[in-house]
A = this chain, B = another copy of it.
Amino acid sequence: MIKIVVTDDHKLFRIGLAELLKKQKDFNVIATFSDGEKFLDFYTKSQDFDIVLLDINMPNIDGIEVLNKLRKIKSSVKPIIISMYDDGNYIAKCSKNGAYSYLLKNTDEEELIKAIRIVAKGKKYFSSLIAEKMVNFMATQSVSENLLSNKETEVLLLISKGLTTKEIATQLFVSTRTIETHRANILKKLEVKNTAQLIKKASEIKLI
């Protein structure tokens, strides 16, 4: 029996997905969550499952952060990313952070089930399309991955959500000057001169 947890902020999607998976006799969807934070809360209480299906774009704690945390604590739970974006940067990032598979939201049922069975056995599964995107990306611009520090990425995300420097500072429990410095460094690294260009560039290279 393969025990599965689903985490996606779109309720209709995650319960639909759970419904799909339930059709497999040896699959057991034990819980679903609307964001990474709720999932991690659950995880601290119970690690009795094999696979977590994770969306990338979620409120509070996103899929990539979840991957990170699971990797850091050397969790035995195997994460599978289900994203709507077939972007090389995303794929590479997820793979690097310990994802066992990367599926698109428009893959079909058979591939999803196949991926889950493969991952449950401890093997990784990346379709040829996804693997190709990842390789292409890493060949050309592996630099962009560690362009920004973790903290800078965190700040960038909050900027993109429309928070002001002051609001970000409050939320991260640091002074506004610290955030201002982060902003300045982010602008410098992305070679832009203001917020508008920053957000545009960041979405172009799928940093947000």
How far apart sit A196 and B109, CA to CA, in the bound complex (Å)? 38
How far apart sit A130 and B195, CA to CA, in the bound complex (Å)? 31
Whether B105 and A11, one on each chain, are in contact in the complex, defined by CB atoms closer than 8 angstroms, is yes
Copies of the chain in the assembly: 2
A97 interfacial contact with B, CB 8 Å: no
How far apart sit A196 and B195, CA to CA, in the bound complex (Å)? 6
Query: Is the interface on chain A under 10, 10 to 19, 20 to 34, or 35 or more residues?
Result: 35 or more
Near B by CB (< 8 A), chain A positions 14-28 give: 15-20, 23
Q: Which residues of B contact A23 (CB under 8 A)?
A: 19
Whether B12 and A193, one on each chain, are in contact in the complex, defined by CB atoms closer than 8 angstroms, is no
Question: Nearest Cβ in chain B — how far from A90, in angstroms?
Answer: 16
Residues 190-208 of A, flagged 1 when their CB comes within 8 A of B and 0 if not, give 0011111111100100001
With A16-B16, A16-B20 already in contact, the answer to whether A11 and B200 are too (CB < 8 A) is: no
* 7 residue pairs, one from A and one from B, having the closest CB atoms: A16-B16, A162-B197, A10-B105, A199-B199, A19-B19, A11-B106, A16-B17
Could you pull out 29 A-B pairs where Cβ atoms are within 8 angstroms? A9-B106, A10-B13, A11-B105, A11-B106, A11-B108, A12-B13, A12-B16, A12-B20, A12-B82, A12-B105, A12-B106, A12-B108, A13-B16, A13-B105, A16-B19, A19-B19, A19-B20, A34-B106, A159-B196, A160-B200, A161-B196, A162-B192, A162-B194, A162-B200, A195-B196, A196-B199, A199-B199, A199-B200, A200-B203
